[in-house]
Amino acid sequence: MRLVTFSLPDGPPRLGAEVDGHLVDLTALSAEENVNLPQDLLSLIRAGDFGLHTTQVLLSRRTLESLRPHVRDRDEIVPHAPFRPGKIIGVGLNYVEHIAESGRALGTGEERPPRPVLFSKPGTAITGPGDPIHHNGDLTSQLDWECELAVVIGRTARRVSEADAWEHVFGFSIINDISARDQRRSGQWFFSKGQDTYAPFGPVVVTRDAVPCPPELDLSLRVNGEVKQKSNTRHMLFPIPRLIADISSGVMLEPGDVIATGSPAGVGAGLNPPQFLRPGDLVEATIESIGTLTNPVVDAR
């Protein structure tokens, strides 16, 4: 399934599903069917198998033709980030070519890390599809992009083995791990990567069963139409089960947490000469089988 969060103009957020490219309003459909469906995606994820099963049953009862009264025109809706995660755990230096460019440009070292490099971004950094990425020239002149596969946790994970890790994954989305390269402080990434709007997220959460496992997905990022990053998630240094096992060895993962699994090469800091985002730029992060997350950069001084 492909699940989305959206609103009608001036209305509260609603839950939706993409069916054959059409956006079905699950909030309206569940009301008509008198089905007690969680009314936002985070609640649905936290409802576990019940939430997914109920949604599947709701959609499977109807043909696309009979769903048509609840199909929303893309022009009439406002897309939102799927939800605000409980925790956003970022993984640094998880693609080999990015380790090399980062070592060169950002002084992070040329060696492959022996264990995943972990950091966090606050939920307040989340912003939705089409929403602006803030460029505050008082704080940064090195605003950078990182297209990443987002893993959405669906089941509590505490000391989970790699073999069991997939059972804890709800699905996948896209995160653009925006960074102010000049705000890393004493090696810490929190202020550099944690500022408001530095985690564009969406446009959809694709459930785990809808993507071949393990997901080997092309990912790419464009700035103003020009390709900056292009790789495949199979090139992660530490694959998803290893990340879940490593994180959950010491930090419990809960439904609605998100792991941003790291960026491939091609970040602005690694280019020669370096290139950074400016107000007026348009950033498009694309991952196969998920979609494209598009955000404009705006002056927010």
Kindly state the smallest distance separating residue 50's Cβ from Mg ion, in Å.
Answer: 33
Among the residue ranges 142-150, 208-216, 234-242, 292-300, the one whose residues contact Mg ion (CB under 5 A): 142-150
Residue 133's nearest CA partner among 269, 277, 5 is: 277
Instruction: Kindly state the tokens that stand for 43.
Output: 């609640």
For 47, which DSSP code? T
Euclidean distance between CA atoms 263 and 148, whole angstroms:
5
Q: What residue number has its CB nearest to Mg ion?
A: 177
Kindly state the smallest distance separating residue 67's Cβ from Mg ion, in Å.
Answer: 38
- Residues in the interface with Mg ion (CB under 5 A) total 3
Q: 7 - beta bridge partners? A: 78
Please, what is the end-to-end C-alpha distance for the chain in angstroms? 40
Residues in Cβ contact with 107 at an 8 Å cutoff, skipping those fewer than 6 apart: none
Nearer to Mg ion by Cβ, of 55 and 176: the residue is 176
SS3 label, residue 135:
strand
Kindly state the smallest distance separating residue 14's Cβ from Mg ion, in Å.
Answer: 30
Q: Is 257 in the site for Mg ion (CB under 5 A)?
A: no
Task: Give the footprint of Mg ion on residues 60-89 (CB under 5 A).
Answer: none
Interacting residue with Mg ion among 146, 257, 281, 284 (CB under 5 A): 146
Nearer to Mg ion by Cβ, of 25 and 246: the residue is 246
Q: Is 144 in the site for Mg ion (CB under 5 A)?
A: no
Kindly state the smallest distance separating residue 62's Cβ from Mg ion, in Å.
Answer: 40
Kindly state the smallest distance separating residue 91's Cβ from Mg ion, in Å.
Answer: 7
Alpha helices in the chain (DSSP H): 26-33, 41-46, 49-60, 64-67, 96-106, 190-193, 240-248
Phi then psi dihedrals of residue 112, to 5 deg = -70, 130
Kindly state the smallest distance separating residue 194's Cβ from Mg ion, in Å.
Answer: 12
Q: Is 263 in the site for Mg ion (CB under 5 A)?
A: yes
Nearer to Mg ion by Cβ, of 13 and 90: the residue is 90
- Within 13 Å, how many C-alpha atoms sit on residue 297's CB side? 24
| Number of C-beta neighbours around residue 113 at 10 A | 16
Going residue by residue from 169 to 208, which x/- string records binding to Mg ion, judged by CB under 5 A?
--------x-------------------------------
Q: Is 140 in the site for Mg ion (CB under 5 A)?
A: no
| Number of C-beta neighbours around residue 241 at 10 A | 18
Nearer to Mg ion by Cβ, of 147 and 244: the residue is 147
Nearer to Mg ion by Cβ, of 146 and 284: the residue is 146
Nearer to Mg ion by Cβ, of 27 and 263: the residue is 263
Among the residue ranges 137-145, 204-212, 261-269, 275-283, the one whose residues contact Mg ion (CB under 5 A): 261-269
Residues in Cβ contact with 119 at an 8 Å cutoff, skipping those fewer than 6 apart: 89, 90, 92, 189, 190, 193
- Within 13 Å, how many C-alpha atoms sit on residue 109's CB side? 8
Binding residues for Mg ion, rule: CB under 5 A, are 146, 177, 263
